[in-house]
Amino acid sequence: MSFTRAELESYRDATIPDLVGPDVRLLFVGINPGLWTAATRTPFARPGNRFWPALLEAGVIPRLPGYARGLTDAERAEITGAGIGITNLVARATARADELSTAELRAGAERLVENVAAWRPRVVAMLGVTAYRVAFGARKAAVGRQPEPLAGAELWVVPNPSGLNAHEDVASLARAYGEVARAAGLSVRMDR
């Protein structure tokens, strides 16, 4: 599947539904949907995004879903059935996260607190320390487990899987995502 630039631009400001089931234990929080994500209605869908390959390498998921084409209903059910949920700080799609305002990120943080209180995951994993710092006013926050919970959930900040994050590769993302999955009590294959 591919899109022209014009087709992708037509998804600017679109939203996608949260991928959250009734028994979410680990909630991944992206910054906001990209245009490819909005086009496919699938989190982290852009080809080259390392989120799904890192989850596979960490042993958190058993197989790589067809994320670039859009998840099937069966793939969505397998992910949520495993206790994994995915949401975003800001709902509107942009080409890059740096198009978001501080006010949008802070409003997203307030909405996230409400959603976490309602969904009650064991662990929340915020993908991206810079967005976390801005959204929550935590200027000195670092990657890792945070000292304060978020609406009763253990809060972690983990690296963002975007290809724009040149400091990380699939292996380092897999280590971080595997750690939060184990903290959430998810079954993580240890043979990887």
CATH of the domain at 38: 3.40.470.10
Full domain range(s) for residue 45: 5-183
The reply to whether 102 falls in a domain is yes
The reply to whether 188 falls in a domain is no
Tell me the Cα Rg of the chain: 15
Structurally, the chain folds into a number of domains equal to: 1
> Is the four-CA dihedral 149, 146, 108, 121 of positive or negative sign?
negative
Cα–Cα dist 53/34, whole Å: 18
The reply to whether 104 falls in a domain is yes
The reply to whether 93 falls in a domain is yes
Instruction: Give one DSSP letter per residue of 40-94, joined into a string.
Output: HT-TT-STT--HHHHHHHHTSSSS---TTT---HHHHHHHHHTTEEEEESS-S--
The reply to whether 191 falls in a domain is no
**49-97 residue pLDDT tens:** 999 999 999 999 999 999 999 999 999 999 999 999 999 999 999 999 8
Confidence category of residue 99, pLDDT binned at 50, 70, 90: very high
Cα–Cα dist 171/119, whole Å: 30
**149-182 residue pLDDT tens:** 999 999 999 999 976 666 789 999 999 999 999 9
What is the model's pTM?
0.95
Tokens of 84: 């994994």
The reply to whether 71 falls in a domain is yes
